[in-house]
Structure 1
Amino acid sequence: MRATLETLAVASLVGVAQGALRLVGLAGAFALATPLSVAPWTVVTSVYAHGSIGHLLANGLALLLVGPLVERRTSRFRFHAFVVATGALAGTAQVTLGGLIGPPTAVLGLSGAVFALGGYLLAGNVVTATLFDRLQLPPRAQFALFGLAAVALTATTAAPGVALIAHATGAFSGLLAGRVGVLDVR
């Protein structure tokens, strides 16, 4: 659980920094928002920042459920790189696509990366691999199936204020990565 606990430690430290910045009126310094070029560091910092202690606890609990299972299959470096990459991708999708269908909003949190880790577990296990190999689905059908699965997984978290595009993006990228074994150490 080393990489999982390290990820939680970084998120906690960022939370402390957020609290300090809140005292001087810079509460949104870690939030990802458009245009991305104004504060490009937020593509990464937003992954570890959270809107409240409850938000951090919810994401932390979900990370504790899936993180150790992914860690068994990969290296610490790959785990952390996956969390940053999928979290950044999910957040970027949320602020860019979300801004096209509604008012622009900022995004924070590990949930996109947590959904990616969960998707990785779902698509990258022996049972799923065997099923896909036997069904011999063409890549387009697998792609469409992963899209439907990502939407279904995202629907379980649908509530006002939840970054649904980020959740779906994270789940979809995790499903694709799991199918090809991106994190597996061979």
Structure 2
Amino acid sequence: MDRSAGFVGSGQLVRSGRSSGQGTAVCMSAERPAVPSRRDVLLGIAGTIGVALGASQPALAAEGLAGKVDPFQDAQKGFKILRPSGWNEFSASENFDVKWQDIINPVEQITVITTPVTKGKTVADIGTTEEVAAKLAKSRSMEIVGSSSKESQGIITYIVEMKSKSVHQITVLAMNKSKLYTVNITCPENRWSKREKLFKGIAESFIPRL
């Protein structure tokens, strides 16, 4: 795919939240220092993963994603996303910045592409959600299933869902810091019912900033 085409390339966000709590003073004997239990250690690791993406473990569990995804961030390109656990990862090429592909079903894949854009531009500058969805669907000879938009900290994000007889796709589009981010999620249509929750959660998790 020509990366200059940005959002019209072929191929294809769990809302983030923060948890907070107050510490409690505990008096312990100097002779017998407290040793963290295995459960405490595991909970600490789980909490660290949640903070890394700005999403709590309870939120992941509520979406049915706990244990199925891992946090990923690219400091150079300036984005973070949940990635499927156990999938093959491919580093940057002329067609994508990063790609994940299922080992058993290679049609199931996720790519993140960044394209330079004029400073200060947002996805609204390339059209409304409906207009962009129509362009994507036409370029891929697909049918629009649905489209939506959201705004967080001044960054507008479009999410477009499409399908054909053989393939189901979700595309996420956002602009920030002179980059157009395109996340393409692809799945065989006959496996969509099994993957819908996972892939929609991953699409919702994408954040075009660190």
TM-score under structure 2 length normalisation: 0.24
Larger radius of gyration: 2
Between Structure 1 and Structure 2, the one with more helix by share is 1
Between Structure 1 and Structure 2, the one with more strand by share is 2
